[in-house]
Amino acid sequence: MSSEQKKQLQINRRNFLKAGVAATFLGVAGVLKTPGKFASAANNYAVQYAAAPKGQWSKIHPVHDMGSAAVRYVEHNDQWLGTTKIVGKIKNISEAENATALVVRRQLGELGANGVGDKAFRGYMTQTARHPLNTAIGQAAVLIATPAAVSGKPNPDKLAIPDPEQMSMHIKDLGYFLHCDDIAIGKMPEYAYFSHHYLSLKDMAKKPMEECIEPVTERLPYVIGILKDQHLETTLGSTGYDGISDAQSFNAYSATAFVSVIIANYIRRLGYNARASHAFNNIVAVTPCLVAAGLGEMCRLGNGSLHPRLGFRHKAAVVTTDLPLAPDKPIDFGLQDFCRVCKKCAEECPAQAISYDADTVEYNGYLRWNVSTLKCSIFRVSNEEGVSCGRCMKVCPWNSKEDSWFHQAGTWMGSQNSAGASLLRKIDDMFGYGTEQILDYKWWLEYPEMYKIPETITIK
């Protein structure tokens, strides 16, 4: 074929692809619409965007992938956080009162007796260094934890947003483009903000607490939840509390942090307020944000949430913003009934930190299963059989299996009612799911000589 013939072929192909008949043939005529224009209120900028059908989740994922669970939607209201009952006023808690901060401050009460508190403290202060991969990930994550990375002033030239639903789809597509595994938008619960945010967790080991915290004054109307899978094959190859468990956590936290920082920065460049909150610089309690966005229900792990497709095998970050958005609804996929009868995480928890109770109890104005976050944190930082722990994630029937039709059928049954939940738990046990270690998937190296906690440390 001559050069001229090749050129003519290229021209003809382009003309064909532009033609309406080609679009119909390719099945995309409904998507290829005339781009709409968003006129800026402050300047002459115009946004070119081919609008998707109303009600579509996003362009990259027209239908929200929630796995095989039977998902129902619930309304935002003052009596329920998703499917969790609110029974009183929920107080904004200080980030300095979370379990990890108490370990660093060595304020563990009777749980810290007989040298346990000091060992936990030494374990936390050396936790990252006790596994080379954790060190590598942690040092990279520090780069996106600075105040300049998570927040800033918005562009004074505010772009007009005439269609919040269309903008919401756009933000979701941006999240998927940045490799998050799921993303959704919720109404920001006011009580999900911390009352105080710590500036440096490790500073609290050597300075008075009042020098290490600042009040959280932000109040923005919307929250964008961002999820990242911690990796199925690694979970299958792990015991759940060996050396890789902390690296799984750090890796997923770093990934969501990266996405949240980019999305927040992007929104500020559109002229709106946006603050990224991630594991390394956070001003919110993440779980109620995820529940409000419809990315899970609160589960037996107290203040943890579980996603209908990813289960508990994920980490999250959020972006709070006043960008005009159309919030998604919280979801109900039967998890309260499931957790009420399953109890596998409680049975398999090496720290015995998770409640066996059938019913939830009141905690800070809402109902949840009781859980000792202190017992959990003490074990995680003191574990010398590895570094940290993700045993509950490993054994949960919602996320402990290969990606197969059998698993899909099981989670569908588990989302129906208590009888289905009980059957899923029995099948899970019968096949040994969650408690097995598939060595063919164990790709990482163990460093048992590094897992030991030093007897003394120097605080710098």
For 168-206, what is each residue's pLDDT tens digit? 999 999 999 999 999 999 999 999 999 999 998 889 988
Q: What is the pLDDT of residue 303?
A: 87
Q: Where are the beta strands (DSSP E) in 355-454?
A: 361-363, 366-368
d(CA 377, CA 380): 5
Mean pLDDT, rounded, for 430-440:
89
Structural contact between residues 225 and 192, judged by C-beta atoms closer than 8 angstroms: no
Q: Report how many helices (DSSP H) and strands (DSSP E) the chain contains, helices first.
A: 17, 16
Residues 218-259 have pLDDT tens digits of: 999 999 999 999 999 999 999 999 989 999 999 999 999 999
Query: Hey, is 439 helix, strand or coil?
Result: helix
β-partners of residue 319 are 224, 276
* pLDDT at 259 (0 to 100): 98
* 35, part of any domain: no
Kindly state the DSSP code that residue 434 receives in the 8-state scheme.
T
Question: 102: closest CA among 377, 318, 297?
Answer: 377
* More reliable by pLDDT, 402 or 78: 78
18 domain-assigned: no
* 213 in any annotated domain: yes
pLDDT of res. 32 = 32
pLDDT in tens, 5-21: 544 444 443 344 444 44
Q: Is residue 265 part of a domain?
A: yes
Question: Quick one: pLDDT at residue 54?
Answer: 79
Segment 109-121, tens digit of pLDDT: 999 998 999 999 9
Show Cβ contacts of residue 393 under 8 Å, excluding neighbours closer than 6 positions. Answer: 230, 235, 240, 311, 312, 313, 399
pLDDT-based confidence at residue 63 (cuts at 50, 70, 90): very high
Domain that holds residue 325: 76-330+371-389
Max mean pLDDT among 20-34, 113-127, 259-273, 370-384 falls in 259-273
> What is the 8-class DSSP label of residue 58?
-
> What is the spatial distance between Cα 339 and Cα 251, in angstroms, rounded to a whole number?
27
Alpha helix segments (H runs only) across 49-98: none
Section 430-459 average pLDDT: 90
Q: Which of 250, 326, 317, 257 lies closest to 287 in space, CA to CA?
A: 317
Residue 96 has pLDDT above 60, yes or no: yes
Query: In the predicted model, what is the mean pLDDT of residues 398-410?
Result: 80
- Position 41 scores a pLDDT of 42
C-alpha triplet 326, 294, 81: angle, nearest 5°: 105
Q: How many domains does the chain have?
A: 1
Is 388 a residue whose pLDDT tops 80?
A: yes
407 falls within a domain:
no
Contacts of 260 (CB under 8 A, 6+ apart): 150, 224, 226, 276, 277, 278, 317, 318, 319
Q: What are the start-end ranges of the E strands in 343-387?
A: 361-363, 366-368
Please report which confidence band the pLDDT of residue 151 belongs to, taking 50, 70 and 90 as the band edges.
very high
**φ and ψ of 416, to 5 deg:** -85, -55
Question: Each residue of 255-309: pLDDT tens digit?
Answer: 999 999 999 999 999 999 999 999 999 999 999 999 999 999 999 998 899 999 9
Residues 6+ apart with CB under 8 A from 23: 29, 32
CA distance 452 to 432: 31
- Dist CA 166 CA 183 (whole Å): 15
Element (H, E) at 315: strand 314-321
What's the CA gap between 434 and 161, in Å, rounded?
Answer: 46
- DSSP states of 113-127 as a string? TTTHHHHHHHHHHTT
Check: CB of residue 390 under 8 Å from CB of residue 248. Answer: yes
Give me the pLDDT at residue 6, please. 45
| Phi, psi at 174, each rounded to 5° | -60, -40
Is residue 444 assigned to a domain? Answer: no
- Mean pLDDT is lowest, of 10-24, 304-318, 401-415, for 10-24
The pLDDT of residue 354 is above 80: yes
- What's the mean pLDDT when you consider all of the chain? 88
- Looking at the domain assignment, is residue 66 inside a domain? no
Q: What percent of the chain has pLDDT over 70?
A: 89
Location of structure tokens 């080991």: 205
Residue among 455, 440, 449, 445 at smallest CA distance from 385? 449
Helix (H) or strand (E) holding 233: helix 232-237
Question: What whole-number distance in Å separates Cα of residue 351 and Cα of residue 382?
Answer: 11
- Backbone Cα Rg of the chain: 24
Residue spans of beta strands (DSSP E) within 61-168: 72-73, 80-81, 84-85
C-alpha span between 158 and 128 (Å, rounded): 42
